[in-house]
Amino acid sequence: MPADTSPSIVNSALAQDRLGAGGVAQFALTAAAPLLVVAGLVTTGWAVTGVTGIPAGFIALAIIFAVFAVGYLAMARRIVNAGALYTYVAAGLGRPAGVATATVTLLAYSAMQVGLYGAIGPVSSGLLQAQLGWNLPWWVCSLMAWALVALLGVLRVDLNSRILAVLLTAEVLLVVVITVTGVAHPAGGHLSLSTLMPSNLVTAGSAVALAIAVTGFIGFEQAPVYAEESRNPRRTVPIATYTALALMTVIYAGASWAMSVTAGPDTIVDAARQHPTDLMFFLAAPHLGDRIETIGSILFISSMFAGLIAYHNAVARYAFALGREQVLWRGFGRTALRTSAPITASLMQSATGLLVITVYAVAGWDPMVKLFFWGGTFGALGILMALTATSAAVIAYFARVASDSDATVWQRLIAPAIATVALAVVDWWTLSNYSTLLGVEPGNAWAWALPSAYLVAAVIGVVWALVLAGTRRDVYERIGRGVNTTEDLAVPSPGLAMGGARA
C-alpha cells in the first residue's frame, strides 16, 4: 500500500508530549471506573463478606499502595518505557522474570478490559428496555461499545484523554453529590464513623473484604505506561500516580462511608443483600428523587465505557513495548502514521474482545458473572502479583545501581521492602479466599484453574526468554530497553534516566 494513503504503520515511536499529568491521571483513574467500584464493588463486598469496615479497608489498602509507589516511581524516573511493570522487573530481577511479568500483565489487563463487555452489554440492554421499550440482546449493546472502543484505540491518545475527562468528570460529580447527600441525611440523625474504624477489619471475612477492595485500585499503577507520550515524564508520572491514588481513596472511602451512614452501620449489610445492583441509588432516591436511578444507570454505563478505553490503551501499549523489542511479533511495535497510536497492538486487542463477545453470545454463558465478575477478579489477581514482583525488583535494581542513584534509602530499600511484604500478604489472602471471591464452592475447578493460568503464563514467559537467550541473543539483550540498545539497563546512564527508552 502506498505510504501516502496508508493510515498505517511507519515506525516504532509513540507520540511524544501529548499528555500532561491530568491526562495521564485520567487514564489511571478511569481504568478503575470509580462509579462502578462504589456502586457495584462496594455493595458486593458488603453482601458477600458481611464486613462493615470496607471504607476502612480502602484506606488501609491506599496506604499499602502509596508505600509501593515510592519505589515504583523511583524506578519510573530512571526508566521511561511503555512496558512499565515488565520493564522494571526485567531491570531488577532479570530478563526471564521480566518476560514472565509481561505475559502475566498482558493476560490480566486483557481480562479486565474484555470482562467489562460482560457488564456494559446487559446493563445497557436493561436501561434501553426500561426507558425506550427496546428489547436488544446484551451482546448487541456490547458490540456497539466494542466498535467505539476499537475506533478510539487507533486514534490520538490525547483525543482519548479528552473523552475520558468528560466521562470521568460526570461520574465523579454524581458520586460527590450522592456522598454529600448521604452524609447530610444519616440514619437516625446520628453521623456514625464506625465503618471507618480499623477495628472493623479485625473480624471474620476481613481478608475477603480486602481482597475484593483491591480490585478498585487496579489502574492507579498505569501512569508509567504513558510516560513516553507525556510531557516531562519525571514530573508527570509521579504527580499522575499520586493524584489518581488520592482521588480513588477519597472517592471510595467517602462514598462507601456515606452509604453506611445513610442506611445505618448496623443495617448496611442487609441493605446490600436486598439491593445488590442499585444500593447507592436506592439510598439516594428519597433525597434526590427517583430520576437519580436513571441518571445513575446512564453514568454507570459511561463509567464502564471509560474503563474499556483505559484498559484497551494499556494492553495495546504493553503489547507495543514487547513488539518493539521483538519479544512478541515485531508488528505489535508499529504505530500509525497519522496518530502515532500502537495500531497493530490495538487491533489485536479489539479482535480479542470481539472473539470473547461472540463466544459468550453463541454459548449462552452468563456475561455478568462469568465474564464481567470473573474477568475482573481474575485480572486484579494478576496485576496484584505483578505489583508484588515489581516491588521486589525495585530492591534488587537499586542494590546494583546505588552508587549511580540519587534515590534515598527510603525509596530504594525501606519502602519497597514494606510494600513487598504487605502485597505478598494481600496476594495470599486473595488466593486463600479465591473460591469465595468467585462465588463458587471451595474446591471448585475454576477456583484453582484461573489462578493457575498465571503460573502457566509465567512459565511460558520464562521459557520464551531462555529460548531468545539461546537463539536470538541480540533480542534477548534488548529486553526491557525499548528502542535503546546501547545502555546497560541494570546500570542506566543519566541519558537513560531521562528517556532512554524513548523513541
Report how far residue 323's alpha carbon sits from residue 314's, in angstroms, rounded to the nearest whole number.
Answer: 14
Number of DSSP helices (H) and strands (E) in the chain, helices first: 23, 2
Residue 234: per-residue pLDDT: 80
- Kindly state the cell numbers that stand for 279: 444500593
Does 9 score more than 50 pLDDT?
A: no
Task: Report the chain's C-alpha Rg in angstroms.
Answer: 22
Sign of CA dihedral 11, 88, 237, 317: positive
What pTM was computed for the model?
Answer: 0.87
Residue 160: per-residue pLDDT: 75
Q: Can you tell me whether residue 301 is helix, strand or coil?
A: helix
Tens of pLDDT, residues 237-259: 888 899 989 999 999 999 999 99
Does 501 score more than 90 pLDDT?
A: no
Does 77 score more than 60 pLDDT?
A: yes
Residue 167: per-residue pLDDT: 85
User: Confidence band (pLDDT; 50, 70, 90) for 482?
Assistant: low
Q: Can you tell me whether residue 27 is helix, strand or coil?
A: helix
**Closest among 260, 269, 224, 283 to 56, alpha carbons compared:** 260
CB atoms within 10 A of CB 404: 14
> Residue 327: what are its φ and ψ, rounded to 5°?
-70, -40
Residue 487: per-residue pLDDT: 39
Residue 397: per-residue pLDDT: 93
Tens of pLDDT, residues 87-118: 999 999 999 999 999 999 999 999 999 999 99
Mean pLDDT for 462-478 is: 94
Q: Can you tell me whether residue 278 is helix, strand or coil?
A: coil
Residue 11: per-residue pLDDT: 55
Identify any residues that bridge with 335 across adjacent strands, giving them in sequence order.
11
Residue 231: per-residue pLDDT: 76
Mean pLDDT for 157-180 is: 85
Does 496 score more than 50 pLDDT?
A: no
Residue 205: per-residue pLDDT: 78
Residue 3: per-residue pLDDT: 37
Residue 99: per-residue pLDDT: 95
Tens of pLDDT, residues 319-329: 888 888 889 88
* Amino acid residing at 232: N
The residue ranking higher by pLDDT, 474 or 22, is 474
Residue 17: per-residue pLDDT: 59
Identify any residues that bridge with 11 across adjacent strands, giving them in sequence order.
335
CA angle 392, 396, 400 (to 5 degrees): 165
- Kindly state the cell numbers that stand for 122: 446487559
Q: Which residue has the cell 462514598?
A: 255
Long-range pairs of 162-170 with CB within 8 A, sequence gap ≥ 24: 163/306, 163/309, 164/26, 164/27, 164/30, 164/306, 164/309, 164/310, 165/22, 165/23, 165/26, 167/30, 167/302, 167/303, 167/305, 167/306, 168/26, 168/29, 168/30, 168/34, 168/306, 170/299, 170/302
Tens of pLDDT, residues 380-406: 999 999 999 999 999 999 998 866 678
Does 26 score more than 70 pLDDT?
A: yes
CB atoms within 10 A of CB 488: 13
Residue 498: per-residue pLDDT: 31
Residue 203: per-residue pLDDT: 79
The Cα-based distances of 132 to 224, 294, 424 in angstroms read 43, 12, 49
Residue 96: per-residue pLDDT: 96
> Residue 358: what are its φ and ψ, rounded to 5°?
-65, -45
Report how far residue 255's alpha carbon sits from residue 183's, in angstroms, rounded to the nearest whole number.
Answer: 9
Does 486 score more than 50 pLDDT?
A: no
Q: Can you tell me whether residue 84 is helix, strand or coil?
A: coil
Mean pLDDT for 38-58 is: 89
Does 352 score more than 80 pLDDT?
A: yes
The residue ranking higher by pLDDT, 470 or 440, is 470
Tens of pLDDT, residues 195-245: 999 888 877 778 888 888 888 898 888 878 777 777 777 888 888 899 989
Does 44 score more than 70 pLDDT?
A: yes
Question: Which domains are present in the chain?
Answer: 3-499 (1.20.1740.10)
Q: Can you tell me whether residue 9 is helix, strand or coil?
A: strand
Residue 1: per-residue pLDDT: 36
Report how far residue 210's alpha carbon sits from residue 67's, in angstroms, rounded to the nearest whole number.
Answer: 17
Q: What is the percentage of the chain residues whose pLDDT exceeds 90?
A: 50
The Cα-based distances of 30 to 37, 213, 369, 383, 392 in angstroms read 11, 16, 22, 16, 27
Average pLDDT of the chain to the nearest whole number: 86
